Amino acid sequence: MALARQDYGFATWVRADSRTSDLQAVRKTARRCIAIFVWEEAIMVQAIVLDQTGGPDALQWQSVTIADPGPGEVRLRHAAIGLNYIDVYHRSGLYPLTDLPAIIGMEGAGDVIAVGSDVTDVKVGDRVGYAGSLGAYAEERLIPAANIIKLPDAVSYEVAAACMLQAMTVRYLFRETYVVTADTTMLFHAAAGGVGLIACQWARALGARMIGTVGSEDKAKLARANGCADVINTKTESFVDRVRELTDGQGCDVVYDSIGKDTFPLSLDCLKPKGVWVSFGNASGPVPAFDLSLLKGSLFASRPSLMAYTAKREDLVANAEDVFAMLVSGKINIAINQRYPLRDAADAHRALEARATTGSTVLTV
């Protein structure tokens, strides 16, 4: 998304351009000039802009322009925005962004307020949500119509923004990466987090046995209350020893590991022979390169992402429909345990990285 700041004029960019021979900078300047030429017609909204990757202070509250939707796009006015750990990876640079400045954030819900020429599936006034489309940290945004899903009346904007990305992740982890059944014993790290609390409830609904890890006693209570059969507090217990005890030395069928560096390679020691190690996140840092012989016992390893599992429109819709059915039936409830005004997104990032949040977090607009 090309951005133009309210306080910069055209002349500023022309002068900056003449001082550099860098082709990328010239292209970036050209894009900004185009945005400024349509200044009179463009709509100004507030957004969190990332100029350079870095710590939470890199998230700046600024005015940006939004153009009319092009072919295949809609303009969406957010009612609520979801906070996810991937936002931290984008902000810090762990997951490189193709262009800066950028508006980060992958999830939100709100109303369609304008549609591009060839958009037929949605109309102005529709209530919609999405997960997996960069550019959410803004009052309004453009988004491809193919990325949005209409919300059932029973699903509020806040719940959709809080959970679409996290619940759709649990759905593909449990139904596709490894097919969880009533016979499954799993280890699930960060069981009291956003993805974690939904996983506790979904595992209970499937009749599976979930052993969860958490970082405090309060979080242990929360995970148990949400259906986690056994909870290990990693501040006071070795999760490998405890999993061995809890499974009579057998180990688990599958380990869902979103912690990364700190739990590698220990998570592998919690698996049965031919068990499945699902490494789906890096909250403590990325898993280092490793020798395949570590997968002793004929283990399987997967490094999945929601984007790959929902790349086709039909897969995105099928996943979202399952999530909505779980919500409407009451089999999963979304614990929105933190709310921050969008302009305070930096504080939300600080809390998430400090392990001070539980359940889901929304940025309010």
By CB under 6 A, name the binding residues for ligand NDP: 84-86, 165-166, 169, 190, 192-196, 214-215, 219, 258-259, 262, 280-284, 304-306, 352-353, 355, 357
3-class secondary structure, 60: strand
**Nearer to ligand NDP (CB atom), residue 193 or residue 275:** 193
Q: How far is the CB of 70 from ligand NDP (least distance, A)?
A: 28
Q: Are strands 271-279 and 252-257 parallel, antiparallel or unpaired?
A: parallel
Residue whose tokens read 């996290």: 166
Q: Cβ distance 109 to 164 under 8 Å?
A: yes
Residue with smaller CB distance to ligand NDP, 247 or 258: 258
Q: Which is nearer to ligand NDP, 29 or 361 (CB)?
A: 361
Rounded Cα gap, residues 44 and 27, in angstroms: 23
Please state the φ and ψ torsions of residue 233, each to the nearest 5 degrees.
-90, 110
Distance CA(103)–CA(87), nearest Å, equals 10
Least distance CB 347 / ligand NDP (angstroms): 15
- 247, 239 Cβ separation under 8 angstroms: no
Residue 78 identity (one-letter amino acid): H
Please give the backbone phi and psi of residue 227, each rounded to the nearest 5 degrees, phi first.
115, 0
By C-beta, is 119 or 220 nearer to ligand NDP?
Answer: 220
Shortest distance, CB of residue 256 to ligand NDP, whole angstroms? 9
Closer to ligand NDP at the Cβ: 69 or 132?
A: 132
What is the closest distance, in whole angstroms, from the C-beta atom of residue 125 to ligand NDP in the complex? Answer: 30
Question: Considering beta carbons, is residue 115 or 223 the nearer one to ligand NDP?
Answer: 223
In the complex with ligand NDP, the residue whose CB is nearer, 69 or 196, is 196
Which residue in 22, 27, 47, 36 sits closest to 345, CA to CA? 47
Q: Which of 66, 200 has the CB closer to ligand NDP? A: 200
In terms of CB distance, is 29 or 282 closer to ligand NDP?
282
Residue whose beta carbon is closest to ligand NDP: 193
| Min CB(71)–ligand NDP separation in Å | 29
Q: How far is the CB of 290 from ligand NDP (least distance, A)?
A: 18
Reduced to 3 states, what is the DSSP secondary structure of residue 211? Answer: strand
Which ranges constitute the DSSP H helices of the chain? 10-18, 23-37, 85-92, 157-172, 194-206, 217-225, 239-246, 306-309, 313-328, 345-353
Beta-strand ranges (E) seen in the chain are 43-50, 59-66, 73-82, 107-115, 127-131, 140-144, 149-150, 185-188, 209-214, 230-233, 252-257, 271-279, 300-302, 336-341, 360-364
Tokens found for residue 312: 């086709």
How many angstroms separate the CA atoms of 151 and 162, rounded?
A: 13
Q: Report in angstroms how near the CB of residue 126 gets to ligand NDP at its nearest.
A: 25
CB of 305 to ligand NDP, least distance (A): 4
Least distance in Å: CB of 81 to ligand NDP? Answer: 13
